Structure 1
C-alpha cells in the first residue's frame, strides 16, 4: 500500500510540475507582452494576444480536463466575466489519434475476444478522435452496422490527477480569498468532477441511450441508436451507426428533398419533450451530435453529457416561458427568485424593476423574433448581480436551448422557440396545479403539523429538564477562516511585536548603564526608539 501511495504521489507531483511549466511559459509571455519590447514587437509583427486569448491558449496546453472545465466556465456568467466567456467558448479539444493497432488491442481486451469473433467487417482507420475516446466503424456478425468507441489508454488516471489538483487549488484559493465564497468554486469543481468521471464510464452513456430510446419509442420523428450492451464495458461502447446529414449542411438537406421547416420543428419538439416532459435532456445538441435521416427524422448521438432537471427547475422554465410570452415581468421575477430558493428576498422590488426594464426592450417587437434563450441569459445576468445561487443544471439548460434555437432558426427563420415552448409549459403548469399534486402537498403539510404537535410537548419537557439539570450546552465552532480567528491572530502578532520592541528598548538601556561605550547597546536603543516613534505616529494617525 505504501508503494502505491508513493507512486500516486510521484504522479501527482510530476503532473503538478507539468502544469507549473505551462503556466510559467504563458505567464512570461503575458509579462513580456506588456513590456516596452513586447509592445514594439506587436507594432512590428502585428501579433496581438489579449489576456483572455492567452488564458484560452494556456487551458488548451493543459489538456482535456482543463479544456472541458473551461468549456463549462464559458457558460457560467456567475463565475466568469463576458470577455473571458467569449474567448473560452473558442476552446477546442484538439485530440490527435493514437495508434490504431494499440486501439484494436484495447478493443479486443475489452471484448475478451479477437475482432473476427465479433465483427464481420472492421475499419482499422479511426472514424474520429476525441479527448477521451477514439471511434471506429464496423459490422457485427449479425449484420448490424455499428460504431465502436474505445477509451484512450491511461486517460482516466490523467483526468483523476487533474481533478485532484483542481480541487486542491480551489480549496487553497477559497481559503486565501474568502470574499469569493459566493462564487462557490469548490462546488463547481465537485460538480465538474462528477460529470467528467461519468463520461469516463461508457456503461453510463449506454444507460443514457437506452433511457432516451424508451422516452421516444412511440415518436417516429426521433431516432435514438440501438446499444449492443452485450459488447459494452466501462471503456468500450458499441452502438448502431446512424446514417444522415448534419443539420448545418443546408445544401445537402435540400438536395435530398428534405423539408427544412419540418426538420426544425421535429428537432425543437424532440428537445422540448426531453426538457419539459421528462426533465432529462441531451446537454450538447450541437450539429456534430445530430443527424437528419430519411423522412425528416432527427437522429441523436453522443449521450455522454446529459442534463437532469428537478421539479423546481421545470416549474421555473414553465413559468418563465408563460411570463415571457405574456410579457409579464412579475411572473418572470417570481420564477427567478423561486428558482434560487429564496422565500424572502429583500431586493425583490429592485429585481422586478430590472426585469421590467429588460422586457421593455422588447416593446413592439413580435414575440416570434425574440431570442428566447438570450432572454433567459439576460435574466440570469441580472440575478448574478444580486449574488443569488442558481442551480448548475440551469446553465446547462440555457446552453441546450441556445443551441436548439440556433439550429432551428438556421433551418427555418420563421420558427420561434417561445411560441413552440408554451404548450409544453402549460402542461407543466397544469401538472403543478393538478388536484393530485395539490392533495399530495396538503397531505404532506398536514402530516408535518401533526408530527410537530405530537412531538412538541416531549421536546419542551426534555429542554426544561436539561435546563434544570444544568446540562444545556452550546458548541461554538470557529473555522480557521473566520473573522474572529483572523482578528485574534492579528492582535496576537501585534502584542508579540510590542513586547519584543519594549524588551529590546529596555535591554539596550541596561547595556548602556553597565557599559557607556557599548556600541551594540546604542545601536539597539536608536533603532528601537525610531520603531517606537513610528508606531506611535501610526496609532495617532489611525485614530478616527
Structure 2
C-alpha cells in the first residue's frame, strides 16, 4: 500500500506525543520501512537519556495513519449491514451467527488501531516465552508509546521464509519450519494466547552470534506486530486437544465428537455420514504432507472434494468465537512451513505434541502395545456409547429407511438449492470486497478471496450435474 506523506505522519506523531519529533527522538528516518493499511513504520534512534534508561538506541516507530479510525468505522458499518442481510438467508442463519462473527472481527480491528493494546500484547507474548530461548519479541519503549504511536526495539533480521538468506547464515530452513510449528502449537494449546497474523513479514530468524552457554540456541524466532492476537479459553483449548488427539489417532468418531464439543458441529444431529467421510479421508489422505498431496491425481482430489462437500453442507456447522483467527493462524503457518520445507508434514509436527498431552495420563504406555491393540480397545470402548446414540436417534425419529429413487430426487433438489445459495454468497462476498478495496485493501482482498470458495462449489456441482 502507498505510504502516507511524511509531513502527515510527522504531524500525527507530534500531536500524539506532544512534542516535536526532533525532541522525541535523536533521529527519525522519513522513509518508511513498511506501510500497511492502518499505519506505517519508520526507523529512528532514541535520545541518549532514554536510550541509557532502556538499554538500547535503535528503534522502529509505528505511526497510525491520520483519519484511520473514521475509515474503520465506515467499513465496519458496511460489514454489519452485509451481516444483517446474510442472516435473512435460512441456510446461512442455520450455520453461523454472522453478526457475531462481524463483531468479533470489529473487536479485533479496533484493537489493531490501539497501540497501547498492542504494546501490552507484545509484553504478554514475551512473558509467555520467557523461559524459551528460541523465541523473542521486541522491547516496548513506553516513554515513546501512546494510543497512536508505538516505539519498539529494532529486531529486524532474516525474514522467516528467506531460504537463501537462512542457508547463507548456516541455518537449516527445515529446522526453522519444525520450530515454527512447535512454537505455534505452544501458543495455541499451552498458553491459549496466539499470534493471529504470522505471515512472513511478521517473523524473523535472528542468528545468535555469540551463544552464551550450552543451552543457548544458534538462532531465535523473533515475532513482531502484535495487533492481531487470539485468545482461547480453557474449555475451547480442551476441545482443541481432543481434536488433535483424534486427528493424530485417525479416529473419525473421536473427531466428530471433538467438533461437537467445540460447538463447530451442533450436537443432536445424525453425524454418521460425516464419520464415514472422515474415515475415507483418513484412509486415503491421512498423514500426507503438502508435497505428497500435490502428487495426487487432481481428478481424484476433485471427486473426493465434491463428495465430502455434499456431506459437509448437509450438516449444521457453525464457527465459535476466535475460530476465524485460529484458522487464519494455522493457514498462514502452514504456508510459512511449506515455503521453508516443501516436504514438511504438519502431521509429524502435531504428533509429538499429542504425545506430550497424553503422557501425564499414562496413555503412552498403552500406545506402546501397538496401533492394532489400541484400535480394538477404542472400538470396544465406544460400542456401548454407539448403541446409546442409536437408541437416542430412534427416539428422536432420526433413523430412517433410505429409498434410492426418492433420495436421488431430493439430492438433486438440494444440490440445486445449494448452488443458488453459493451463488448468492459469492456475489455478496465479491461485492463487499470490491467496496472495501479502496479503503481497507487487506479486508477487501480477504473477502474477494473467500468468494472463490462458493464460486468453486457452483462450478464443480454444475459440472457434475
TM-score range, shorter chain: 0.5 to 0.7
| Structure ID, larger Rg | 1
Cα distance in 1 for residues equivalent to 2:361 and 2:12: 50
1:115 aligns with 2:38: no
Match of 2:63 in 1: 150
Match of 1:104 in 2: 10
Equivalent residues of 2:3, 2:35 under 8 A apart = yes
Q: Deviations over 1:252-276 (max 9, x none)?
A: 1111222323322222222111111
Match of 2:188 in 1: 275
Q: Deviations over 1:453-489 (max 9, x none)?
A: xxxxxxxxxxxxxxxxxxxxxxxxxxxxxxxxxxxxx
Cα distance in 2 for residues equivalent to 1:406 and 1:255: 22
Kindly report which structure 2 residues correspond to 1:123-162, keeping only aligned pairs within 5 A, or say none. Answer: 123-141=29-47, 142=51, 143-162=56-75
Match of 1:347 in 2: 270
TM-fit CA distance, 1:430:
6.4
Kindly report which structure 2 residues correspond to 1:385-400, keeping only aligned pairs within 5 A, or say none. Answer: 385-400=314-329
1:196 aligns with 2:109: yes
Q: Report which structure shows greater RCO (CA 8 Å, sep ≥6).
A: 2
Equivalent residues of 1:368, 1:418 under 8 A apart = no
5+ residue gaps, structure 1, are 1-94, 435-544
1:266 aligns with 2:179: yes
Kindly report which structure 2 residues correspond to 1:76-475, keeping only aligned pairs within 5 A, or say none. Answer: 95-141=1-47, 142=51, 143-175=56-88, 177-178=89-90, 180-182=92-94, 183-294=96-207, 295-340=218-263, 344-362=267-285, 383=312, 385-428=314-357
Cα distance in 2 for residues equivalent to 1:330 and 1:174: 31
Q: Secondary structure at the match of 1:361?
A: helix
Cα distance change on mapping 1:342 and 1:271 into 2, 3 Å: closer
5+ residue gaps, structure 2, are 208-217, 294-300, 364-465
- Report which of the two has the higher share of helix: 1
Cα distance change on mapping 1:145 and 1:370 into 2, 3 Å: same
Cα distance in 1 for residues equivalent to 2:313 and 2:145: 42
Q: TM-score, normalized by length of structure 2?
A: 0.65
Equivalent residues of 2:195, 2:229 under 8 A apart = yes
- C-alpha root-mean-square deviation of aligned residues, in Å? 2.9
Cα distance change on mapping 1:382 and 1:321 into 2, 3 Å: farther
Q: Secondary structure at the match of 2:280?
A: helix
Equivalent residues of 1:319, 1:429 under 8 A apart = no
The size of the alignment, in residue pairs, is 333
TM-fit CA distance, 1:400:
1.6
Q: Secondary structure at the match of 2:285?
A: coil
Q: Deviations over 1:172-228 (max 9, x none)?
A: 5535x4553224322222222111111111111111101001011111111111111
Cα distance change on mapping 1:179 and 1:221 into 2, 3 Å: closer
Cα distance change on mapping 1:192 and 1:341 into 2, 3 Å: closer
Equivalent residues of 1:319, 1:425 under 8 A apart = no
TM-fit CA distance, 1:414:
4.8
TM-fit CA distance, 1:115:
1.9
Match of 1:469 in 2: none
Equivalent residues of 1:290, 1:301 under 8 A apart = yes
Cα distance in 2 for residues equivalent to 1:174 and 1:432: 44
Cα distance in 2 for residues equivalent to 1:430 and 1:348: 30
